[in-house]
Amino acid sequence: MKAKKILRIVLAVLAAAIIGGCIYINSLMPIITGYAAKNLASDVFVSGRNAADIEALDLNFSFIKFTRNKVDYENKTVTSRFLWGKSTAAWREGYGVTLLRGKSAEELRAEKFPLAPEPDSAVAAFQTDSLEYARLEPIATALVDELSYGGHPFAFVVLHNGKLVAERYGYGVDAGTRLLSWSMGKSFTNALIGIMSGDGLLDINAPMDIPEWQGDGRKAITLNDLMQMQSGLKWNEDYGSRSDVNLMLHREKDMGLYALSKPLAHEPGTFWYYSSGSTNIVMRYLRGKFSSDAEFLGYIRGRLFEPLGIRNACFEPDMNGTPVGSSYLYVKAMDYARFGQMFLDDGTVGGKRILPEGWVDYTMTPAAASEGKYGAFFWLNRCKVCPDVPEDMYSCNGHDGQQIYIIPSKGLVVVVCGYSPRSNKVDFNALLSDIIGSFAGFA
């Protein structure tokens, strides 16, 4: 009898563990299948990469590598399955890919968000410094071929004193490939805020008029708080779990609404915590400043992308139609370099002011509670995260090694776009230090 009782207890515990495990795995289904469908679809239909390469490199990690993916080239959708879970992502002309939640691809495409016409004017190329280009060739080769720095990135671009001194691309990618920003998109959102601020459309230090916040302490949150990651809102940015950021990106229809619905955990402006939700709150807020989506999208193109010389940018929206400012911008590697050069040139392009006077200095001002590591949607090197690189460096950092480094004291912009999650991580301190060292002896 005693043995039977023990057996019943063991079986009950085992059954509970199995049920609990199934419930947990079920909660991960939107993340696992959503990540695979969204990223595979974007890389195929926006970047133009080969599906097999994407599965072998970009999706070859964790549970994601076990998804079964179907690319429908005729209907421009990707459906990804894992166990009993399924997600579908759909491409739309001008908008890129959206992960479908609650609607079919046909229903989504029937919703017409008017697009501003894409400018077709010629883009001036950066002048190349052949001597410095030759000096950086070994570094470019070592980085892209994974010989010295690790990572095997898709693209590598270096500008020195406004001239092109390095440009290399990895397997399956070239100068015309639009590449994913991940969190570098936050820095583009910074620039958009700066332009709107300069145009008198908003005040970054004033409390935001978000209706859901008016009945509690959240009504004191400012754009500055959100940009400096000091909103005080409760948030979990852990990408390895069923966290807020994963649920927002892979389950929610309205990402900004999901993020702004979080309660306060700290008084605004007093606690630093990195949050992708903050950027999507901001982008949703910016969209509300315009009378129509056509006006909003036209503003982004006409006031930010076109002056930078960025053509055919794809800022993918959520199901609600808001561009996902935290993560989903697709432009070319050289476009990321143009963006970095604008900040290096104090917010100007070709002598024409794009960002308001003082905006770059504001961007580089450390958030009070960040211990010198973060400004306004930009990372800082004041805390010496790269100890062999000047402290004035600041950067746009994205998931899986997307980087734009801006080093004012050296006149440098360094762009590294993407590498496989299964690869070794790039030693950015060594890379930047070697780039700087290669200029020894140059004026």
291: confidence class by pLDDT, cuts 50, 70, 90: very high
Report the percentage of the chain scoring pLDDT > 70.
Answer: 91
pLDDT at 177 over 50: yes
pLDDT at 176 over 50: yes
SS (H, E, C) the chain: CHHHHHHHHHHHHHHHHHHHHHHHHHHHHHHHHHHHHHHHHHHHHCCCCCHHHHHHHCCCCHHHHHCEEEEECCCCEEEEEECCEEEEEEEECCCEEEECCCCCHHHHHHCCCCCCCCCCCCCCCCCECHHHHHHHHHHHHHHHCCCCCCCCCCEEEEEECCEEEEEEECCCCCCCCEEECCCHHHHHHHHHHHHHHHCCCCCCCCECCCHHHCCCHHHHCEHHHHHCCCCCECCCCCCCCCCHHHHHHHCCCCHHHHHHCCCECCCCCCCCCCCHHHHHHHHHHHHCCCCCHHHHHHHHHHHHHHHHCCCCCEECECCCCCECCCCCEEEEHHHHHHHHHHHHCCCEECCEECCCCCHHHHHCCCCCCCCCCECCCCEECCCCCCCCCCCCCEEEEEHHHEEEEEEHHHCEEEEEECCCCCCCCCCHHHHHHHHHHHCCCCC
Q: What is the mean pLDDT of residues 357-373?
A: 97
379: confidence class by pLDDT, cuts 50, 70, 90: very high
| The CATH classification of domain 130-438, taken from the options 3.40.367.20, 3.30.43.10, 3.30.590.10, 3.40.710.10 | 3.40.710.10
Q: Among 6-20, 40-54, 119-133, 316-330, name the one with the lowest average pLDDT.
A: 6-20
pLDDT at residue 424, as a whole number: 64
pLDDT at 252 over 80: yes
Q: What is the mean pLDDT of residues 378-385?
A: 95
17: confidence class by pLDDT, cuts 50, 70, 90: low
290: confidence class by pLDDT, cuts 50, 70, 90: very high
266: confidence class by pLDDT, cuts 50, 70, 90: very high
pLDDT at residue 105, as a whole number: 95
Question: pTM of the entire structure?
Answer: 0.94
Return the domain boundaries, the chain: 2-110, 130-438
pLDDT at residue 203, as a whole number: 98
pLDDT at 422 over 70: no
pLDDT at residue 314, as a whole number: 95
285: confidence class by pLDDT, cuts 50, 70, 90: very high
Q: What is the mean pLDDT of residues 288-298?
A: 94
Q: Among 15-29, 164-178, 215-229, name the one with the lowest average pLDDT.
A: 15-29
410: confidence class by pLDDT, cuts 50, 70, 90: very high
418: confidence class by pLDDT, cuts 50, 70, 90: confident
pLDDT at residue 442, as a whole number: 53
pLDDT at residue 28, as a whole number: 81
Q: What is the mean pLDDT of residues 181-199?
A: 98
pLDDT at residue 443, as a whole number: 46
